[in-house]
Amino acid sequence: MKIGSTLKKLRHKRSLTLEDVSVSSGLSISYISCLERDKRNINFTALGKISKALAIPIPVIIFLSASEEDFGQSDKTLISLQATLAAYILG
């Protein structure tokens, strides 16, 4: 599961800069940048702050971040739902 790359995609989709998210979340630009590049692990508190800044619920961010391995190869319904949700949110 790579939450960082999902956060970056969502931020770009919202046309927000790192500075915008930093100001809204109270987290530093360097910390957010490290998260987006998967150089740091995110904690739930930081995820909540970024979620609020992006106006996207935490469960949606986690769901969009999951890989096929996270779902299991046999769960095609979840994989299909994830693809549909990603297309809707990320365009």
Q: Model's pTM, two decimal places?
A: 0.85
Residues 43-89: pLDDT tens digits?
999 999 999 999 999 999 999 998 877 777 667 788 888 888 888 88
Q: For 17-29, how does the pLDDT look when each residue is reduced to its tens digit (9 = 90+)?
A: 999 999 999 999 9
Residue 35 has pLDDT above 70, yes or no: yes
* Domains of the chain, first to last: 3-90 (1.10.260.40)
Would the pLDDT of 13 be above 90? yes
Cα–Cα distances (Å) from 64 to 5, 27, 47, 61, 67, in that order, read 10, 22, 14, 5, 8
Q: Which residues make Cβ contacts (< 8 Å) with residue 8, sequence separation at least 6?
A: 36, 37
